[in-house]
Structure 1
Amino acid sequence: MARKALESQPFSRLLGARLSAFGDGAATLEIDIREDLHQQNGYVHGGVLSYAADNALTFAAGSVLGPAILTGGLSIQYVRPAAGRTLLARAEVVRAGRRQAVVRCDVLTVADDGTEALCAVAQGTVLPIHTS
């Protein structure tokens, strides 16, 4: 069901995002790094990193809060330029209650030899939405 939700997002399809892990308060989102995702200096654009963190933390929260949720806020710190073969966003719920979940996310790149490098750290809050 989570993969189907991701595939229903046009922007996620545009980026080629995939959900490689989901459940028990955690989620991992993967994106193959392509030239068209780079900024002018040859690194993955910060907007792509932010998207990956946002979606990964929302899916992690969704595994405990349910599917009717939205990101309430997100902060991200870029710690290294992102370059490699694959972008990974690994998110984990820090604390979940009835009204919100606080989630942290590490955004990493994977090189051709499989080594991982941390390039951003994010934290966000996810809120359940109630439709009337």
Structure 2
Amino acid sequence: MHSPYRQTQIRFRRPQCARNKHDPVIQSAVGVLRLENGEIIRGNNQENAAYPSGLCAERVALFYANSKFPDKKVKTIAISASSNGKFTKFPVGPCGSCRQVILETENRFKNPIKIIMYSERKNTGCGRCK
């Protein structure tokens, strides 16, 4: 479990990520990673009208982390989604493609990634992506 300070850092990065998104087709999603070295990596939806050419926030963050810090383990991924400027009422989990990338990242580093899903009403945490 990470400290309340780290959870707060992850939470406060979400609105910043949402502003940088590009998703003219669907609503906003944000993925924030915490690496073993303490780095916080932000990702947001990068969508395209030629669906499914875009990428989900989780994969954007994971691919960037793997490119910039190829030898650092991902410890936590936080996911949130919004519609009309408000967080969704219930948590939104990673799609199948994102789950595959999360699983392969876990396997690559032999390290489970904690997944936290945020929403207006409830925050949910889970262990490995299966």
Query: TM > 0.5 between the two?
Result: no
Report which of the two has the higher share of strand: 1
Q: TM-score, normalised by structure 2?
A: 0.31
Report which of the two has the higher share of helix: 2
Larger radius of gyration: 1
Q: TM-score, normalised by structure 1?
A: 0.31
